[in-house]
Amino acid sequence: MTLLPIRNVAIIAHVDHGKTTLVDALLKQAGTFREGEDVPDCVMDSNDLERERGITILSKNTAVTYKETLINIVDTPGHADFGGEVERVLGMVDGCLLIVDANEGPMPQTRFVLKKALEKGLRPIVLVNKIDRPQADPHGAVDKVLDLFIELGADDDQCDFPYLFASGLDGYAKEDLDAPGEDMKPLFESFLHHVPPPVGDPEKPLQLQVTTLDYSDYLGRIVIGKIHNGTINMGQQAALINEHGEMVKAKVSKLMGFEGLQRVELATASAGNLVAIAGFANANIGETITCPNEPQALPLIKVDEPTLQMTFCVNDSPFAGQEGDFVTSRQIRDRLMRELETNVALRVEETDSPDRFAVSGRGELHLGILIETMRREGYEFQVSQPQVIYREVNGQPCEPYEYLVLDVPEEAVGGCIERLGQRRGEMQDMQVSNGRTQLEFVIPARGLIGFRGEFMRLTRGDGIMNHSFLEYREMAGDISSRRNGVIIAFEEGTATFYALKNAEDRGSFFIEPGVKVYKGMIVGEHNRPQNLDLNVCKTKHLTNHRSSTGDELVQLQAPVDMSLERALEYIGPDELVEVTPESVRLRKLEKKKLAKR
């Protein structure tokens, strides 16, 4: 049994505020890596998508030892769409480190996770990161954090928070802004002094709450959680109390702890430790593993419900089965069900059609990450436009509302306010500083569907947009979509330069010459509100006459890059996104299929 004193700490930060880089510095200075070892950047972002996007999607555990104390560090997602991960992680820790950018201060996703932490009674340590940047205002950031704490209803003890200044990139932290920065020791010391040791009695009957799920081909389902009371031994008999209060006995087939980035096998572990256990095939989030002779369940963890739903269906386009390895309804269903093993904020329901599945998630990013992961694994399928999930509250139909913050250049302020007004957004606050304006809105979630692309055009790519779930409120009324019509290919073939050049004045295209198209495929956006059927495969009739302008170099406008996220936001109710490992295509839903829906 480990006799080391323990500190369990969660790291909370907004996307791109330097959380993962800071963890890298902590691991390096704690001696996690041996001398000469090749150390990757962003070691906590193990997922390819996390590395590409620079965001944390899955919460992960690591552990370092400092002054004979085992410090368990849990990296939490910074995006509100991954609230399912955040909820559970905060139940494993006794303190948290709030990282804020010295220039930007706390942002909406910080607000979302911080609110959850304060509700659980955690007392945060505030770390003002990136103080080495030219426009940094560290003391201003601390003042903004205090304002946010008061706004979120923090108690007096939480508002009297300790704070440090740091540069994760340069690998130092310090309490005094004017002192030279040397290393991360001040941050390690603050963990020891300000994070309480876990409360628990090793002599009491076992109580372990499942907070994260993992899966191994060799061990099956692996449950990760914190031991609240008691001691657990490798190979012992234990019992799982599920959400219905039923007790299922099982054997602990594997017991693992955390050391650096690795899981290490343990013979025994006691109260306060974070452990991973195999042997409980049917365990779910929030359930309790306990002693079979004296079973005592812990309160179930409540996770934010999904707010968006979309339909996943088998690809039935003319190009179906040409690019993907997994295309059948059974394969897609099995993959979605496997995702439910570890993705707690996701819901998958079967519909009256065997090749369609209703998939619900926390937001467009949450669902978009699942779609992108599946296509990289070789799956081919189609998805519909995201729809918000309505609920009945006190007999009234209600819809989800989001708290939206925009950071835009001054010239774009009027356009943003006008567009959000049309989408039923209500402005809460407006602040101007250094030639930029920060706008705060409360808006129905359906008002945000398709807004990101419009926002990028309004701000010419120079705007920052963040939003988090607020609450369910009464319906806001109709929201009209002001998107133009689309250009639709009316025959199968290969798009030609000649046809696209001749139709350039009709709108903007999503494809370039040489791309294969089929009837019903959306190839561009029309300049007018109505749809336009167009032959994009038309070729120039050759003659034996030489044109006087034949040798001139004619250029085509660059096509609009229709990424997966942009396609999901762009499509209308009668359109689908066809997703394959190699392509993302937009298409119109056929009339007979639209009638079935």
Contacts of 488 by beta carbon, 8 Å cutoff, 6+ apart = 520, 521, 522, 523, 531, 532, 533, 534, 588
First to last CA, the chain: 59
14 labelled as ligand-binding?
A: no
Name the one residue in this structure whose structure tokens are 């070691």.
Answer: 43
226 labelled as ligand-binding?
A: no
d(CA 361, CA 241): 27
461 labelled as ligand-binding?
A: no
222 labelled as ligand-binding?
A: no
45 labelled as ligand-binding?
A: no
17 labelled as ligand-binding?
A: yes
Residue type at position 93:
V
79 labelled as ligand-binding?
A: no
Other C-beta atoms lying within 10 Å of the C-beta of residue 502: 15
249 labelled as ligand-binding?
A: no
* Virtual torsion, Cα 133, 134, 137, 141, nearest 10 deg: -30
d(CA 227, CA 456): 47
Q: Nearest CA to 569 among 472, 453, 403?
A: 453
16 labelled as ligand-binding?
A: yes
The CA distances from residue 62 to 43, 59, 73, 210, in Å, are: 10, 10, 5, 17
Cα Rg, the chain, nearest whole Å: 27
d(CA 290, CA 292): 6
Length of the chain: 597
Contacts of 475 by beta carbon, 8 Å cutoff, 6+ apart = 390, 397, 398, 399
Q: List residues bridging with 577 in a β-sheet.
A: 383, 586
For 445-570, list the strands marked E by DSSP. 464-474, 486-489, 493-494, 507-509, 516-517, 521-526, 532-534
Contact present, 231 and 206 (Cβ < 8 Å)? yes
20 labelled as ligand-binding?
A: yes
d(CA 579, CA 371): 8
The kind and range of the H/E element at 138 are: helix 138-151
Residue set of the binding site: 16-21, 129-132
State the binding site for GTP.
16-21, 129-132
